[in-house]
């Protein structure tokens, strides 16, 4: 017989999302909470993000990743929350049954009153972008290199090319330089960087590392170890331009080419996934399409800043607590929800659904634009009637946009909220 245990709330993932959600649920009165973490310690990816710049919104100071994590771990340690480390969730079902496994305790079944998904995301790999060439050692994701260097203490290479200008790639360009490696270039296939402007300044410009926009890797050379890569310029359709090939002699290629929310468990539970965010479709309470299962952080949509993960996760923690404490049979979601629609220039909007009750209150919309705009407005409409327009001096896909819809702004009974970018003439 499989052992069965019961919790009012189970949080899957002990990174920043899971930590904030669990602490908030406890503060909201939930008495039995478990956090399930597959790693050997709490904190998630923050433990390897040793650079500073975290917490400016949340704590009004500039912390490193481990320091930010530590604040929440200490909160968690004040009690009332069981932590299961080295434990992997194998199954999640729509009726909030989980099957988990660990070397120490074997297979356990858990029945939960509510579940919060906080599994985060993982990096796209070479396979995901299909770079041609040989398959030598020395090709790895930026996050893998970050763990090797910052946690395990390995050198990853001497001469490095980085493909992709996401924040982790930029951070690693600086880190590798400070550790004595030579970063030859950061290549970005798009005509703009995917990272935050401040990281381009303090990680590349500070160290005179070239950022090659509209460039990609079209060949990897070397049998056992990377001996070089070929960078090539691309046209507007992202096709390599013949004759622009340039070979860089290097022993390492780092990839910082995007993050994908990790939703195998969500799919197993039958949760609806948004094809744009690749995360669960959630409402303003962070509740997924399956009642009683909530989600927060990078498993929902990839954030730039952990501070906003924390904010979103607290929201999920409070909402899950309400559900648990109401002791009501988990009901179907109200039928008439407002759908948010990403219009012209908008890549996605989160939350994807808003309850009528939620719309009456203040709602924060998070979104990403599809390209760089220098001076534009974002327009919000309820059932095709504009309710808000806000100017932005600078909009870029690498920088998430937040818009607050104040209480009373959305007319009651609305069916859709559309968001679009209006370019200045």
**Least CB distance to other proteins at residue 87 (A):** 17
Torsion sign across C-alpha atoms 321, 322, 326, 330: negative
**Residues between 54 and 73 that touch other proteins (CB under 8 A):** 56, 62, 64-67, 69-70
Query: Is the CB of 112 or the CB of 171 nearer to other proteins?
Result: 171
Q: How far apart are alpha carbons 90 and 370 in whole angstroms?
A: 35
Contact 284, 355 (CB under 8 A): yes
Query: Is the CB of 150 or the CB of 355 nearer to other proteins?
Result: 150
Residue 206 interacting with other proteins (CB under 8 A): yes
**Least CB distance to other proteins at residue 258 (A):** 19
Q: 70-105 burial string, b = 16+ CB within 10 Å, else e?
A: bbbbebbeeeebebbeebebeebbbebebebbeeee
Q: Which range touches other proteins (CB under 8 A), out of 121-129, 149-157, 383-391, 416-424? A: 149-157
Residue 128 interacting with other proteins (CB under 8 A): no
Query: In this structure, how many other beta carbons lie within 10 angstroms of the beta carbon of residue 338?
Result: 24
**Least CB distance to other proteins at residue 304 (A):** 6
**Residues between 96 and 125 that touch other proteins (CB under 8 A):** none
- β-strands 106-117, 293-295 pairing: parallel
**Least CB distance to other proteins at residue 396 (A):** 9
What residues contact 124, with CB distance under 8 A and at least 6 apart?
141, 255, 257, 258, 259, 260
Q: Which of 28, 32, 52, 272 binds other proteins (CB under 8 A)?
A: 52
Q: Which of 394, 404, 413, 423 binds other proteins (CB under 8 A)?
A: 394
**Least CB distance to other proteins at residue 176 (A):** 12
Q: Which range touches other proteins (CB under 8 A), out of 150-158, 311-319, 337-345, 407-415? A: 150-158
**Cα-to-chain-centroid distance, residue 343:** 22
Q: Could you write out the DSSP letters of every residue in 354-379?
A: E-HHHHHS-EEEEEEESS-EEEEEEE
Q: Which of 95, 179, 386, 423 binds other proteins (CB under 8 A)?
A: 179
**Least CB distance to other proteins at residue 198 (A):** 4
Q: Could you write out the DSSP letters of every residue in 317-358?
A: HHHHHHHHHH-PPPPPPPS-PEEEEE-TTEEEEESSEE-HHH
Q: Which of 91, 109, 219, 399 binds other proteins (CB under 8 A)?
A: 399
What tokens appear for 322 in the block?
A: 């309400």
Q: Which of 178, 236, 237, 329 binds other proteins (CB under 8 A)?
A: 178
**Least CB distance to other proteins at residue 217 (A):** 27
**Least CB distance to other proteins at residue 51 (A):** 5
Contact 181, 155 (CB under 8 A): yes
**Residues between 23 and 42 that touch other proteins (CB under 8 A):** 40-41
Residue 201 interacting with other proteins (CB under 8 A): yes
Contact 151, 289 (CB under 8 A): no
**Least CB distance to other proteins at residue 5 (A):** 27
**Residues between 345 and 384 that touch other proteins (CB under 8 A):** none
SS3 234: strand
Contact 350, 365 (CB under 8 A): yes
Size of the site for other proteins (CB under 8 A): 34
Contact residues for other proteins, defined by CB under 8 A: 40-41, 47, 50-53, 56, 62, 64-67, 69-70, 149-153, 178-179, 196-198, 200-202, 206, 304-305, 393-394, 399
């Amino acid at each position: 017989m499989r052992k069965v245990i019961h919790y009012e709330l189970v949080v899957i993932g002990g990174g920043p999302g899971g930590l904030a959600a669990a602490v908030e649920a406890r503060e909201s009165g939930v008495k039995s909470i478990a956090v399930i973490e597959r790693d050997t310690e709490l904190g998630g990816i923050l433990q390897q993000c040793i650079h500073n710049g975290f917490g400016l919104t949340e704590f009004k100071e500039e912390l490193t990743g481990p320091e930010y994590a530590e604040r929440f771990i200490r909160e968690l340690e004040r009690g009332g929350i069981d932590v299961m480390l080295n434990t992997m969730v194998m199954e999640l079902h729509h009726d909030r049954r989980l099957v988990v496994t660990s070397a120490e305790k074997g297979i356990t079944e858990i029945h939960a009153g509510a579940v919060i998904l906080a599994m985060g995301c993982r990096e796209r790999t070479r396979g995901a972008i299909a770079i041609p060439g040989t398959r030598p050692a020395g090709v790895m994701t930026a996050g893998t290199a970050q763990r090797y260097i910052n946690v395990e203490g390995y050198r990853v290479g001497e001469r490095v090319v980085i493909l992709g200008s996401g924040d982790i790639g930029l951070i690693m360009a600086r880190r590798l330089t400070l550790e004595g490696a030579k970063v030859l270039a950061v290549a970005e296939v798009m005509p703009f960087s995917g990272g935050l402007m401040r990281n381009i300044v303090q990680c590349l410009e500070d160290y005179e590392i070239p950022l090659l926009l509209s460039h990609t890797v079209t060949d990897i050379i070397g049998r056992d170890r990377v001996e070089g890569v070929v960078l090539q310029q691309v046209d507007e359709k992202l096709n390599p331009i013949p004759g622009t090939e340039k070979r860089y002699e290097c022993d390492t290629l780092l990839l910082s080419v995007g993050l994908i929310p990790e939703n195998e468990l969500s799919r197993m539970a039958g949760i609806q996934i948004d094809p744009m965010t690749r995360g669960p479709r959630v409402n303003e309470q962070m509740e997924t399409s399956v009642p009683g299962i909530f989600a927060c952080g990078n498993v929902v949509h990839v954030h730039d800043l952990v501070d906003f993960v924390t904010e979103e996760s607290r929201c999920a923690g409070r909402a899950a607590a309400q559900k648990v404490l109401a002791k009501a049979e988990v009901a179907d979601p109200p039928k008439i929800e407002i759908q948010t629609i990403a219009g012209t220039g908008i890549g996605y909007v989160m939350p994807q659904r808003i309850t009528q009750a939620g719309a009456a209150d203040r709602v924060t919309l998070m979104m990403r634009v599809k390209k760089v705009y220098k001076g534009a407005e974002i327009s919000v409409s309820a059932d095709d009637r504009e309710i808000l327009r806000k100017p932005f001096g600078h909009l870029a896909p690498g920088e998430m946009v937040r818009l607050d819809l104040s209480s009373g702004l959305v007319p009651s009974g609305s069916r859709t909220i559309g968001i679009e970018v209006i370019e200045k003439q």
